[in-house]
């Protein structure tokens, strides 16, 4: 039984909807399926506006444009994240200021943020790792007192919440990813969530090559013109059709993932109780979305041996991220504020186990058994 690390989500309805998109003779951006997806997300999260984008990276770029980030500005973010969180701001000329993470959730340590604020700081970009919310009350309070904007990297956070508030809707802007590795996918894609309606018009213009074509499509202007700088951030309606099939079954997909997550948790708890591994921590105020199941080994060496052991059993497990502050671009465009107590150390011992929509209970049990076998050998 060979088990891949990830299998992109597929429900069966995708082909029907993609065929419909083609038959609509509307395969460019902002067609009927794009509208359906945006409205679904708006209804589900309560955000003022959702704009579907070509990726979460591009949603974050839009947020950086809306925050008017420029040369010399600083953005505070964790070093333990995917490159996009930093890229979107660095592309506008900003410096990435990395802050250490909390070892329990792998999220930015909210208690260390305020000390990293300077007169150049413009944005805090928390990352909700594994769909587990950052300590948003503290982060929003710091932002308010220092007049900063908050851009949530909620790439992994759809269907998850903090104190009952959907991730991605708490800060000024929130960014979802629909990459094939995420809970819901359109191959490549994402969404920008806009909390305050005042930013909608500008966001639509940046997303449509700097034009007011969105207004034109709604019949609000009789011709569209070049209004501002911008780029092309809208996905094809065929991709949106693929995504819509999954949003319709969002509860079922999340439920299946949650079942597998809970099975891992139960079966691996004995190893955690013996102190052999550590399991993820979900704070009381967070509802997660079973985006990821990870364990922590003793150290990097043990992790490498476990990966090899699982590979021999045809189970593919992976780790990420190489901390950004130690990467070539991180050295060039960023700096670490304070001490790296946990970022490097914890990233070296985290291992992700397979978790995807069609993973079965039997496969999950087999994987957990093999992890146990490794520690019992
Ligand atoms: C997946 C991911 C991204 C990037 O998403 P894309 O849609 O591929 O651009 C950004 N940040 C985090 C934390 C991610 O997991």
Q: What is the mean pLDDT of each run of 10 residues along the chain (377 residues)?
A: 95 97 94 98 98 98 98 98 98 98 98 98 98 98 98 98 98 98 98 98 98 94 96 98 98 98 98 98 98 98 98 97 97 98 98 98 98 96
Query: In sequence order, what DSSP letters do the residues of 302-350 get, joined into one string?
Result: HHHHHHHHHHHTTB--B--PPPGGGSHHHHHHEEE-S--SSHHHHHTTE
pLDDT of residue 1: 80
For ligand 1, what atom is nearest to the CA of residue 128? 13
* Ligand 1 centroid, distance to 280 Cα (angstroms): 20
* Ligand 1 centroid, distance to 225 Cα (angstroms): 32
For ligand 1, what atom is nearest to the CA of residue 58? 9
Of 181, 227, 194, the residue nearest 208 (C-alpha): 227
pLDDT of residue 227: 97
Side-chain-facing half-sphere of 114: CA atoms under 13 Å: 9
Q: Which residues line ligand 1 (CB under 6 A)?
A: 55-57, 81-82, 84-85, 127, 153, 155-156, 177, 179, 190
Q: Whose CA is nearest to atom 5 of ligand 1?
A: 56
pLDDT of residue 7: 97
3 state DSSP class of 215: helix
Q: Whose CA is nearest to atom 3 of ligand 1?
A: 155
* Ligand 1 centroid, distance to 273 Cα (angstroms): 33
Domains, the chain = 14-247 (3.40.640.10), 250-376 (3.90.1150.10)
pLDDT of residue 208: 97
| pTM, to two decimals | 0.98
Query: Going by C-beta distance under 8 Å and a sequence separation of 6 or more, which residues neighbour residue 193?
Result: 41, 45, 47, 49, 50, 154, 168, 169, 173, 174, 175, 176
Q: Whose CA is nearest to atom 2 of ligand 1?
A: 155
Q: Which of 6, 90, 154, 155 to mutate to test the pocket of ligand 1 (most atoms within 8 A of CB)?
A: 155
pLDDT of residue 298: 98
pLDDT of residue 26: 86
């Amino acid at each position: 039984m060979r088990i891949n690390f990830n299998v992109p989500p597929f429900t069966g309805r995708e082909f029907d909807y993609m065929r419909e998109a083609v038959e609509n003779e509307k395969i460019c951006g902002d067609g009927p399926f794009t509208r359906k997806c945006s409205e679904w997300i708006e209804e589900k999260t309560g955000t003022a506006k959702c704009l579907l984008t070509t990726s979460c990276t591009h949603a974050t770029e839009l947020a950086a444009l809306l925050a008017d980030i420029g040369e010399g500005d600083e953005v505070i973010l964790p070093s333990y994240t995917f490159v996009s969180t930093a890229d979107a701001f660095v592309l506008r000329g900003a410096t990435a200021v990395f802050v250490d993470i909390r070892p329990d959730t792998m999220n930015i340590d909210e208690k260390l943020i305020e000390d990293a604020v300077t007169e150049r700081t413009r944005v805090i970009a928390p990352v909700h790792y594994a769909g587990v919310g950052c300590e948003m009350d503290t982060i929003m309070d710091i932002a308010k007192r220092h007049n900063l904007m908050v851009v949530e990297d909620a790439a992994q956070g759809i269907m998850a919440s903090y104190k009952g508030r959907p991730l991605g809707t708490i800060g000024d802007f929130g960014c979802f990813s629909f990459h094939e590795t995420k809970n819901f996918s359109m191959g490549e894609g994402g969404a920008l969530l806009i909390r305050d309606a005042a930013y909608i018009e500008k966001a639509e213009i940046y997303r449509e090559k700097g034009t007011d074509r969105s207004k034109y499509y709604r019949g609000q202007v009789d011709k569209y013109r070049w209004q501002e700088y911008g780029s092309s951030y809208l996905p094809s309606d065929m991709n949106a059709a693929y995504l819509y099939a999954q949003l319709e079954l969002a509860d079922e997909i999340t439920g299946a993932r949650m079942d597998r997550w809970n099975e891992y948790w139960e079966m691996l708890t004995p190893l955690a109780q013996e102190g052999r591994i550590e399991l993820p921590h979900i704070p009381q105020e967070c509802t997660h979305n079973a985006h990821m199941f990870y364990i922590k080994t003793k150290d990097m060496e043990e992790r490498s041996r476990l990966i090899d052991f699982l590979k021999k059993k045809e189970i593919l497990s992976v780790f990420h991220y190489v901390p950004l502050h130690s990467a070539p671009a991180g050295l060039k465009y960023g700096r670490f504020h304070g001490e790296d107590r946990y970022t490097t150390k914890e990233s070296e011992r985290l291992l992700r186990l397979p978790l995807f929509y069609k993973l079965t209970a039997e496969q999950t049990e087999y994987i957990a058994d093999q992890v146990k076998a490794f520690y019992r050998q």
